[in-house]
Chain A
Amino acid sequence: MIKELVIKELKNTLRDRKMLLSLIIAPLLMFIIMGGVMRFAMAATFKEALEKRTIYVVNNDLGKYSEMAIEYIREKGFDVKVFEQTNTEEILSKEEIDVIIEFPEGFSYNLSNGLKAKILTYTSIKGLSMGGYAVLGKVSGLINEINTYLSKVLVREVAGGIDPDFILNPVVSKSHMYISGKEVPETFMAMLGFFSAGIIVAPLVIVTTTIGISSSMIAVENEERTLEVLLTLPISRFKILLGKLIGVIILVLIATLSFLVGFMFYITAPIAAFEELPEVGEKSPFEASPILTLFDLQTIVLTVVAVFFTLIAVGSLGLLLGSIAPDVRTAQTYIGSLSFIIFIPGMMLMFMDLSKFTLAGQVALVALSPFISPILVFKALLEGVPWIAYASLIWTIAFTFIMVAIAAKFMETEKILTLQFTLKMKALRKKR
């Protein structure tokens, strides 16, 4: 009997183009488009950063060290155009020139006399794009290289036989990074931002999708006036609730799959952008790290349990909210105003470690955990605060049973049909 109800729910929902669009196509397209744009933009930025371009140099110094620096830039493979004794701003006003390096008068004199010398850079940014910042980064990198090169020249001149590299870098660092007691490659740092965002955002989207689908499933029965017949069929109200919940979970799994495919494309966009550059010849800073090996079986199992109970809890809550809405649009309004309960703690968890919360804050997070349990359990176990994970899981399971019981009880009563009428009458009385 439940099978028939579930099939009915799936057919009636998946054939609805609006639902199909918001459940499957929109998340997939959104991430693919965002990822595609990001990939294109980042590839362009990397390319810009790596491109050998013409460097315009104004040499108002005409001394030994400025000449050496200009030669060094040439040796780096850049095409160098030198202007001597010229007003730099006049040259910059020419459209095709966006970067000028100026060696001002006295540059070589200062270095020869143990004084700091200045290099002036002029950058004309045409737009506020990432590409513009890449040019700035490149110029600043080049100046650093010139600085190092001249340092070595000066060290050689002053200290004869000593290796200038030793003087400049007497200490070499080697860093080891640990997460939850397990060493991870340094390159993991580059992925960490994306990864933590994904760990938080994915469950938030799944939870809000679940509430959205479940509330729509019952609200559509009100909107299409099918609820009255459904409630008089020879099938228990609990089975009707169960049929809807199973339908919700299957739809959420489909939506999650679509979301994950899109999200994976999105988070791998930087790797792809880097790999598209053939001449890089070095390791991508976004190399995929063995992320999954970080988590032990307990963390994975408890997180999956948390996901399961959270889905049922919020699914039941969605059904309750949907049943007091006369139509799908109103149900979505109710859900919208509820989403802050999910997003505020979710966002806080994205930026803060659990140890940074006070005890009251941690308890508040546990209290809200039926909505954010997968995130909280995962984060608590990873960050070594297991009591939060266990408390969250116990409360989420208890909350799930309470929600299912309330939803089942509500469906048993006539309130499922009369509550909207009562609410409407109360609203009318208030208006008067």
Chain B
Amino acid sequence: MVFAVEIIDLVKFYGKVKALDNLSFNVREGEIFGLVGPNGAGKTTTLRIIATLLKPSSGTVRVFGYDVVKEAEEVRKLISYLPEEAGAYRFLTGREYLEFMAKIYRMPSSVVEEGIKISGLGDAIDRQVRTYSKGMKRRLLVARTLMIKPKLAILDEPTSGLDVAHALYVRNTIRKYAKEYGVTVILSSHNMLEVEYLCDRVALINKGRIVDMGTAKELLEKYGVKNLEEVFIKAIRGVA
């Protein structure tokens, strides 16, 4: 079976600091997979390696069977990455930004219209990005990531900086794209509610290691608690 993402014994050093410590997990095609953990746990590093931005110190990472180091260009054709603190080109309009991305992915112009719809920016789409609020910018970036219907969407804190209503809208959009278009999603989040609502499976990550993994329901039952926050606390203390 070919996994959407296959990670085997992944280790990553930044100088002498070990950011990832023998990390292993798989993401199945079509599922929404969540990485949950505190700051510095290794979530962003993991996502950056899958997105071909960083290279593993050791271990293997494959996306739909393609090695992220040896076949990075093939991997890039399948993925769409949304970094946590991403920006867009300030002096392009929202529409021009989406058009640029569509052309790079060799997509028809209908994709841009879809992106505009996802962003919910309305008339503001023809304003330069520098005039956007943080939330508007984030919505544009989410739209950019999903409009091309990638095989794998890599989303680092997708709702960061969004208000409640827009965060909910983005979550529903992610879910829609996963279910209707078969987009596999791997995301990271601090927001346990978001993870519980969105993800088919969740991996709890701490100090570069997977502490536990399963569906939200399985984890809640395993730890006998009511929410994922409590699961996480118990998991890192090693109390099952």
Contact = CB atoms under 8 A, between A and B. Distances in A.
Interface of A: 1, 4, 7-8, 11-13, 15-16, 224-226, 228-229, 231-236, 413-414, 417-418, 421-422, 425
Given A228-B81, A233-B104, A236-B73, A414 B89 contact: no
B15 A422 contact: yes
A224 B141 CA distance: 13
A226 B54 CA distance: 16
Contacts of B51: 228, 232
B103 A4 contact: yes
Interface in B16-44: none
Given A8-B100, A15-B128, A417 B54 contact: yes
A414 B45 CA distance: 12
Contacts of A11: 89, 91-92, 96
B53 interface: yes
Contacts of B139: none
Given A228-B53, A228-B81, A228-B86, A8 B14 contact: no
Contacts of A235: 76, 104
Given A16-B91, A228-B83, A418 B76 contact: no
Nearest to A412: B72
Given A8-B100, A11-B92, A425-B15, A418 B54 contact: yes
7 contacts: A11-B91, A16-B91, A224-B89, A226-B89, A232-B80, A235-B76, A414-B53
Which among A4, A7, A11, A232 has the highest number of chain B CB atoms within 10 Å? A232
B87 A226 contact: yes
B20 to A, nearest CB: 14
A233 B82 CA distance: 11
Interface of B: 14-15, 48, 51-55, 73, 76-77, 79-83, 85-92, 96, 100-101, 103-105, 128, 141, 144
Given A11-B89, A232-B81, A234-B105, 15 more contacts: A8-B92, A11-B91, A12-B92, A13-B91, A224-B88, A225-B86, A228-B51, A229-B83, A234-B77, A234-B104, A235-B104, A413-B55, A418-B54, A422-B14, A422-B15
A232 B76 contact: yes
Given A226-B88, A229-B83, A4 B53 contact: no
A236 B54 CA distance: 16
Nearest to A425: B15
A12 B89 CA distance: 7
Which among A11, A13, A16, A229 has the highest number of chain B CB atoms within 10 Å? A229
A414 B86 contact: no
Nearest to A414: B54
A229 B86 contact: yes
B81 A4 contact: no
B92 A417 contact: no
A235 B79 CA distance: 12
Nearest to A13: B91
A329 to B, nearest CB: 15
Contact of B91 (A7, A12, A225, A414): A12
Nearest to B88: A226
Nearest to A417: B53
B81 to A, nearest CB: 4
Contacts of B100: 4, 7-8
Contacts of B128: 15
A1 B54 CA distance: 24
A234 B73 contact: yes
Contacts of A1: 103-104
Contacts of B82: 229
Contacts of B81: 228-229, 232
Given A8-B100, A231-B53, A236-B73, A226 B92 contact: no
A16 B129 CA distance: 12
B90 A224 contact: yes
Nearest to B81: A232
A117 B66 CA distance: 102
Contact of A225 (B85, B101, B103): B85
A15 B86 contact: no
A186 B176 CA distance: 82
Which among A15, A413, A417 has the highest number of chain B CB atoms within 10 Å? A15
Contacts of B14: 418, 421-422
A413 B82 CA distance: 20
A8 B73 contact: no
Contacts of B101: 233
Contacts of B88: 224, 226
Can you list the 10 inter-chain pairs with the closest CB atoms, starting with the nearest?
A15-B91, A225-B87, A224-B87, A232-B81, A234-B77, A234-B76, A228-B83, A4-B103, A12-B89, A12-B91
A224 B55 CA distance: 23
Given A1-B104, A418-B14, A12 B90 contact: yes
Nearest to A14: B91
A418 to B, nearest CB: 7
Contacts of A225: 83, 85-87
A12 to B, nearest CB: 5
Contacts of A418: 14, 54
Nearest to B78: A234
Nearest to A225: B87
A245 B74 CA distance: 25
A90 B76 CA distance: 91
Contacts of A422: 14-15
B52 A226 contact: no
Contacts of A421: 14
Contacts of B96: 11
Contacts of A224: 87-90
Nearest to B80: A232
Nearest to B156: A228
Nearest to B97: A8
A233 B53 CA distance: 11
Contacts of A236: 73
A16 B52 CA distance: 31
A52 B144 CA distance: 76
